[in-house]
């Protein structure tokens, strides 16, 4: 934990806070929030912030594991000695916000102009479709890491693109048209609820 | 999988379907659904049924695991060789139903007249409180296994009882007063959505 001048604190993922200023990155106007964090870390930190402020309750789902063998050593806690990763059947994140059910997957690309659809898995698309049918607020957070840009992309758009046999990617231009861009923040790192508010408002209109 | 006369099928959790009739149990009017299944198995099977019928999307969350060491043997899949169980920070089940966010924990007791509150953990109560603040549909499914009775107990009631320093349990009578009893079913095993409908209807009134 590093104390910031404001008195607030944030985890910096093991990085040294006092390293020399990265003027190159600063020129690109990449915010503090990008500093070496993966998208998952940014979302987890934001969820923690939202949770503490009672703004929403969203958690990342644990990775499903098939446990085969567990040791119970005397005087210490159980140790899993043989286990395997299982295929997930949902997206990574879900929760509740002002009565709405939120469900989303997080993806990032280093590309500048498009997002490859092969980043999605069948089970994620199927799960998002099911949650949409139940009137959930379903989306993907896509990060263009080279651009420092983040979007709330409605699941309906992603599902249609994924099912289109002629499409292997969605362009940044398409994403800009249908999505809600997340503005960089400091607290939380990735203030995605502001974009979700706009998404919900538009959905209610239609 | 066992084929039933109706043509439908259900997993019987490894039990032999063709065993002699259990007249004693039949007298107690314990339904098929009780046959040796744990409450968790009953809920998981019901969730699978609801998922296939597009009625709701509810999944059990995987157990959170701290992975320390993974082997990657040649030509076979990764093996977790050292890992530890972590404390969960949520309840076991959540999902979406007709736009509503559902969040619940499942508990059972062999008692006949009361349910001990020590079966709840702090993190479950805290999580349910947070989800309630976000207007989720939050409850506990309590099974009185000796009675073959199942209840949807509103989280607000459980939270208040848990916080009451003078209370170590909630009586069956209290539960009958504030809850929605789940009627035994065949498909799904535990048709809890019917009770959830009543819960939602009453909540909307108040």
pLDDT given at position B35:
63
- Please give the backbone phi and psi of residue B48, each rounded to the nearest 5 degrees, phi first: -65, -45
Residue of B nearest to A83 (CA): B80
Residue B66: enclosing H or E segment and its boundaries? strand B65-71
Using the Cβ of B135 and the Cβ atoms of chain A, whether some distance falls under 8 Å is answered with: yes
Cβ–Cβ gap B131/A57 under 8 Å: yes
Mapping DSSP to helix (H, G, I), strand (E, B) and coil, where does residue A143 land?
A: strand
pLDDT given at position B19:
37
Distance CA A2, CA B156 (A): 38
- For residue range B122-163, list pLDDT tens digits in order: 999 999 999 999 999 999 999 999 999 999 999 999 999 999
**Which residue is it, tokens 């959505």?**
B193
- Please give the backbone phi and psi of residue A110, each rounded to the nearest 5 degrees, phi first: -90, -10
Q: Are A150 and A141 in contact (CB under 8 A)?
A: yes
Over residues A27-45, the mean pLDDT reads: 73
Burial of A6 from C-beta contacts in 10 A (0-12 / 13-18 / 19+):
exposed
Q: Residue positions of A in the annotated binding site for Mg(2+)? A: 90, 92, 105, 124
**Which residues are registered as beta bridge partners of B113?**
none
Q: Are A141 and A43 in contact (CB under 8 A)?
A: yes
Q: How far is B26 from chain A (nearest CA, A)?
A: 36
- For residue range A50-102, list pLDDT tens digits in order: 999 999 999 999 999 999 999 999 888 999 999 999 999 999 999 999 999 99
Using the Cβ of B98 and the Cβ atoms of chain A, whether some distance falls under 8 Å is answered with: yes
pLDDT given at position B124:
98
A85 → closest Cβ in B78, B85, B96 = B78
User: Chain A partners of B58 at a C-beta cutoff of 8 Å?
Assistant: none
pLDDT given at position B185:
83
Whether the predicted pLDDT of A8 surpasses 70? no
Q: What band does B30 get if pLDDT is binned at 50, 70 and 90?
A: very low
Report ipTM (2 d.p.).
Answer: 0.82
Q: Are A94 and A101 in contact (CB under 8 A)?
A: yes
Q: Are A34 and A50 in contact (CB under 8 A)?
A: no
Q: What band does B27 get if pLDDT is binned at 50, 70 and 90?
A: very low
pLDDT given at position A84:
96
Using the Cβ of B69 and the Cβ atoms of chain A, whether some distance falls under 8 Å is answered with: no
Distance CA B121, CA B119 (A): 7
Q: What band does A186 get if pLDDT is binned at 50, 70 and 90?
A: confident
pLDDT given at position A2:
41
- Please give the backbone phi and psi of residue A37, each rounded to the nearest 5 degrees, phi first: -90, 145
Number of CB atoms found within 10 A of residue B200's CB: 17
Cβ–Cβ gap B85/A80 under 8 Å: yes
Residues 6+ away with beta carbon under 8 Å from A184: A30, A31, A33, A34, A148, A150, A190
**Which residues are registered as beta bridge partners of B96?**
B57, B101
* Domains of chain A, each with CATH number or no CATH: 21-63+89-205 (3.40.1350.10)
Over residues B164-193, the mean pLDDT reads: 95
Number of CB atoms found within 10 A of residue B182's CB: 22
Mapping DSSP to helix (H, G, I), strand (E, B) and coil, where does residue B101 land?
A: strand
Q: How far is A32 from chain B (nearest CA, A)?
A: 28
Query: Measured between alpha carbons, how far apart are the two ends of chain B, in Å?
Result: 44
pLDDT given at position B175:
98
């Amino acid at each position: 934990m590093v104390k910031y001048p404001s008195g607030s604190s944030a985890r910096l993922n093991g990085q040294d806070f006092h390293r020399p200023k990265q003027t190159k990155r600063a020129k690109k106007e990449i915010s503090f929030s990008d500093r070496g964090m993966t998208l998952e870390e940014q979302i987890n930190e934001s969820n923690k912030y939202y949770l503490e402020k009672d703004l929403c309750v969203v958690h990342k789902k644990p990775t499903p594991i098939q446990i085969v063998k567990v040791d119970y050593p005397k005087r210490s806690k159980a140790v899993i000695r043989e286990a395997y990763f299982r295929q997930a059947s949902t997206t990574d994140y879900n929760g509740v916000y002002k009565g709405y059910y939120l469900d989303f997957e997080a993806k990032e690309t280093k590309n500048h102009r498009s997002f490859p659809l092969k980043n999605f898995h069948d089970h994620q698309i199927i799960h998002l479709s099911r949650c949409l049918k139940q009137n959930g607020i379903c989306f993907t957070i896509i990060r263009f890491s080279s651009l420092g840009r983040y979007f709330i992309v409605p699941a309906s758009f992603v599902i249609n693109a994924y099912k289109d046999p002629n499409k292997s990617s969605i362009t940044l231009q398409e994403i800009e048209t249908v999505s809600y861009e997340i503005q960089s923040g400091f607290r939380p790192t990735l203030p995605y609820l502001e974009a979700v508010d706009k998404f919900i408002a538009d959905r209610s209109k239609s």
